[in-house]
Structure 1
Amino acid sequence: MDGSTIYALGTPAPTLVRPGALAVIRLSGPRAADALVFLTERRAFERGYSARDPALPPPRHMALRTILDPVTGEVIDRGLVVWFEAPRSETGESMAELHLHGGRAVVNGTLAAIQKLGFCRLAEPGEFTRRAFEHNKLDLTQAEAIADLVAAETDQQRRQALQQMDGALHRLYEEWRTLGLRALAHLEAAIDFPDEDLPVGIADEVRTEITHLRSEIAAHLEDRRGERLREGLSIAIIGPPNAGKSSLLNLLAQREAAIVSETAGTTRDVIEVHLDLGGWPVVLADTAGLRATSDVIEQEGVRRAQARAEAADLRLLVLDATTDWRAEMTELTARGTRWDPTHDIVVVNKVDVAPIDAAPVDAVDVVPLSARSGSGLPELLVRLQHSAGLLMEQGAGAPPLTRVRHREALIEAVAALDRALHAPEVALAAEDLRLAMRAIGRITGTVRIDELLDVIFRDFCIGK
């Protein structure tokens, strides 16, 4: 942090086609109050008025002010301003906000006026949030939740981001650090005071604490809800050629996302679309038809389809009602295609041409569908939402892990805890336990690594 005063537009930039009704420009830093005075008091800039001038409104109170060019005195706009005294602000620094009309001329004129002050600079992406972190207003998990909230496209993503902003992950990880530090203190006491009479059974107690900690972290790593919700639940559409997989993708996406043809084997690669499925973010993938083929390119498509089916969170098996689809279903599952009847769904398409008996097959429910007319789509959407809900509710209650960065640190922590449990000497066990606590501390920012901070905050939008 360089101690400068930063500024940025905190609302979407207006365009000629779509000007905004309102625009919010934010400033943060030691001279934010000066900037507010100089922009709202005629000739204050050239006379050198300070932040102690009575022209400054009371902290945390909106005030109507005229925004002026500090050099020419020209009126730019008339709007509401507010300032916040440090440390009672979002960033922990003095802050000011200008709530103005959202036209391009007003926004550009105001930004240019701030630049003319000479002591403010445009904020880097994520710099407001980073300064909040630097002043202990939030930890790294909460900072990342702000970025997730801004990027949220579904209700469930919004709820998860708000839960994380509220400190759910922070509290969980700090609880683990506290438990680990307690065990570490016992080990270090045994190292530093070998001749003292330490409590009986302390070694067993430490081992129990480390085992418990490792178990909790391992269970947390197995919970994929947060990553699924943040990145999107992966659904693979699989089945034999010409069953209507691409037609189903287009029907669900409500647009022509995939080429539909009567020629079998048209789809050679995986085609993805992103959907909001009742609040759940979904990545829907159309895959090549599963069949034996001598075509080298189609063979690669089949291989990719099988790999995608294996990696997907759930699968839609699409079969053709005009064929012996029951035998096809048996053959595909016998061929080793991954299948979970709890979540995965069988769709029998083209029932407008060949109506079917929708009785369960091998205890698997079947959804009759006509991708051409849309018949059966409401029932399929209900089944999809139910399956998505079942997947996302697994492990419900505990705050879920949300980012690869967290996962990598926790994997490192588990490995260190394993070494601590099997260490031949107390000193080695203590060092491994210390490394585990350091890995957990990196998630929340308790352990500081500036290069890591650069990576985290550079993906934020400017003004956040």
Structure 2
Amino acid sequence: MSATDTIFALSSGGLPSGVAVIRLSGARSLQAVEELCGRIPPVRRASLLSIRNRNGNKLDEGLILVFPGPNSFTGEDCAELQIHGGRATVKAVLAALESMEGLRPAEAGEFSRRAFLNGRMDLVEVEGLADLIAAETEMQRRLAAEHASGGLSLLYESWAKRLTHARAMIEAELDFADEDDVPGSVASSIWRDMHALEQEILNHVADARTGEIVRDGLKVVIAGPPNAGKSSLLNHLAKRDVAIVTDIPGTTRDVLHVDLDLSGFAVRLYDTAGLRATEDIVEREGIRRTHLSMSDAHLLLLLSEDAQWTSLDGIYDGQTLRVRTKSDQVKTPWPEDGADVTISVKSGDGVSDLLDAIGRHLPNLEAGSALALPTRQRHILNLSTARENIRRAIEATNGLDIQAEYLRLAGQSLGRVTGRVDVENLLDVIFSEFCIGK
């Protein structure tokens, strides 16, 4: 398969559907439309045309749009066929396209890959687009839209420009020190800005946990001894029977989960095996998996029906909500027992209080605030490397050329986040700001 092939794919949802959209990209896209429809419609205008195969048999009638490159999603010539979404109809049109020379079905993600390779999107925008398609909550949508539209990329681009400017000033002092119009002290302006940039990146990386929660959801593990009501709570919140509930201790052997939408955030609740000493090899494996889930949790709901709280020493030291369960079975008031919330899934008492308590562990983001947050581990690693190299440049005492090299490495790490690691022409920056050699 060649990157120069013209590709096509069904880009809308599953079939059957009211409308199906078939997308094409590549040098033969417009020719393919002409073969199918008899002519190429006006660019960027929807035209109702008949679609026929090579034998002249009418396959369907639909809206046809063409988008000549480079002003298209992929940067190549593109076309869209908006046809009826019957399985047989779509299959016939796809077969007609596949029969044409130079056309082939697209591979997974190939349209976005071509958009990246042709400079229409960077890696952060591509990742944002994928997240936007997968978004299930309002905050996930907002975060993904911010990334897909280039909001985060603009921040990184501004940092890259500051690094390039710093390197240009250093090169100017190294190579053109005899010229009167070159600043004599890089330190007085450049290093002050590099100190500020290092702190900005450090603050940005510190928001990684917030970005992780917004994108992947708040991970809440329900833990406690057997028969404390863990599975019953999971089923109650899910409004369906996800976990098996019996009076027999040790019913839950594996980690189950459900996803909730809480105040626009995704919250993933994990039901786990009861914490106790056991000789049952299967239950012991379930408890081991419970410990693994707890190590990744943002919040732990520690359940108990009698306020005898299970010790978590050496297992979990993060944020915990103590939840006393089965309040409907108690006829007299409880003494002070250390519980943060008291609930009954049978009567529903206290469940809304529990959800409010979980909600207080969600990020506090203003409704109109920009979500320029790092969300992936590769973002964090490259940003941290960039910050470390800026710090080394600031602290280096063995010459401006060494400091410039550290800043170059910082720029490379920053470029790896967006996928744009260009060889900057530093002289362009220098000549744009000075009149060297006049």
TM range (shorter): 0.7 to 0.9
CA pair 419-62 structure 1, distance change in 2 beyond 3 A: same
Task: Name the counterpart of 1:414.
Answer: 387
Contact 1:57-1:83 at 8 Å conserved across structures: yes
State how far apart, in whole Å, the 2-side matches of 1:194 and 1:242 are: 78
Q: 1:349 aligns with which of 325, 348, 351?
A: 325
Q: 1:37 aligns with which of 27, 34, 37?
A: 34
The aligned length equals 417
SS of the counterpart of 1:255? coil
Query: Residue 22 in 1 paired to residue 19 in 2?
Result: yes
Q: 1:90 aligns with which of 57, 73, 92?
A: 73
SS of the counterpart of 2:23? strand
Task: Name the counterpart of 1:158.
Answer: 141
Task: Name the counterpart of 1:462.
Answer: none
Tell me which moved more, 402-411 or 440-449: 440-449
Contact 1:40-1:65 at 8 Å conserved across structures: yes
CA pair 393-356 structure 1, distance change in 2 beyond 3 A: farther
Contact 1:442-1:448 at 8 Å conserved across structures: no
Task: Name the counterpart of 1:427.
Answer: 401
Task: Name the counterpart of 1:385.
Answer: 359
Residue ranges of structure 2 left out of the alignment (5+ in a row): 424-438
Residue 437 of structure 1 and its aligned partner are, at CA, apart by 0.5
Structure 1 residues 248-286: Cα deviation after superposition (integer angstroms, max 9, x where no partner): 122222333333333434445533333333432222122
Tell me which moved more, 347-356 or 435-444: 347-356
SS of the counterpart of 2:362? helix
Give 2:5's aligned amino acid: S
Contact 1:309-1:338 at 8 Å conserved across structures: no
CA pair 393-269 structure 1, distance change in 2 beyond 3 A: farther
Give 2:344's aligned amino acid: S
Give 2:317's aligned amino acid: R
Task: Name the counterpart of 1:319.
Answer: 304
Task: Name the counterpart of 1:219.
Answer: 203
Contact 2:60-2:89 at 8 Å conserved across structures: yes
Task: Name the counterpart of 2:53.
Answer: 69
- Within a 5 Å distance, the mapping from 1:2-401 to structure 2 comes to 2-14=3-15, 19-41=16-38, 55-70=39-54, 72-193=55-176, 199-223=183-207, 224-291=209-276, 293=277, 295=279, 297=281, 302=287, 304-306=289-291, 308-320=293-305, 323=306, 325=307, 328-329=308-309, 332=311, 337-340=316-319, 344-354=320-330, 366-390=340-364, 397=370, 399-401=372-374
Residue ranges of structure 1 left out of the alignment (5+ in a row): 42-54, 450-464
In the superposition, the TM-score normalised over structure 1's length comes to: 0.81
Residue 103 of structure 1 and its aligned partner are, at CA, apart by 0.7
State how far apart, in whole Å, the 2-side matches of 1:98 and 1:251 are: 45
State how far apart, in whole Å, the 1-side matches of 2:128 and 2:162 are: 25
- RMSD of the alignment, in Å? 2.9
SS of the counterpart of 2:329? coil
CA pair 63-316 structure 1, distance change in 2 beyond 3 A: same
State how far apart, in whole Å, the 2-side matches of 1:360 and 1:40 are: 78
Residue 353 of structure 1 and its aligned partner are, at CA, apart by 0.4
The structure whose RCO (Cα within 8 Å, separation 6+) is larger is 1
Query: Residue 437 in 1 paired to residue 411 in 2?
Result: yes
In the superposition, the TM-score normalised over structure 2's length comes to: 0.85
SS of the counterpart of 1:387? coil
Structure 1 residues 361-398: Cα deviation after superposition (integer angstroms, max 9, x where no partner): 66x7x3221223433333323333343254x679x655
Contact 2:221-2:300 at 8 Å conserved across structures: yes
State how far apart, in whole Å, the 1-side matches of 2:332 and 2:128 are: 48
SS of the counterpart of 1:150? helix
CA pair 423-398 structure 1, distance change in 2 beyond 3 A: farther
State how far apart, in whole Å, the 2-side matches of 1:215 and 1:2 are: 42
- The sequence identity of aligned pairs, in percent, is 41
State how far apart, in whole Å, the 1-side matches of 2:29 and 2:136 are: 33
Contact 1:356-1:368 at 8 Å conserved across structures: no
CA pair 22-360 structure 1, distance change in 2 beyond 3 A: farther
State how far apart, in whole Å, the 1-side matches of 2:311 and 2:331 are: 22
Give 2:41's aligned amino acid: P
Residue 177 of structure 1 and its aligned partner are, at CA, apart by 0.7
State how far apart, in whole Å, the 2-side matches of 1:418 and 1:265 are: 53
State how far apart, in whole Å, the 2-side matches of 1:158 and 1:61 are: 29
Residue 26 of structure 1 and its aligned partner are, at CA, apart by 1.2
CA pair 23-201 structure 1, distance change in 2 beyond 3 A: same
Task: Name the counterpart of 2:435.
Answer: none
CA pair 222-361 structure 1, distance change in 2 beyond 3 A: farther
Structure 1 residues 268-317: Cα deviation after superposition (integer angstroms, max 9, x where no partner): 553333333343222212233345x3648566655654554343112212
Contact 2:18-2:84 at 8 Å conserved across structures: yes
- Within a 5 Å distance, the mapping from 1:440-455 to structure 2 comes to 440-447=414-421
Tell me which moved more, 97-106 or 205-214: 205-214
SS of the counterpart of 2:257? strand
SS of the counterpart of 1:275? strand
SS of the counterpart of 2:108? coil
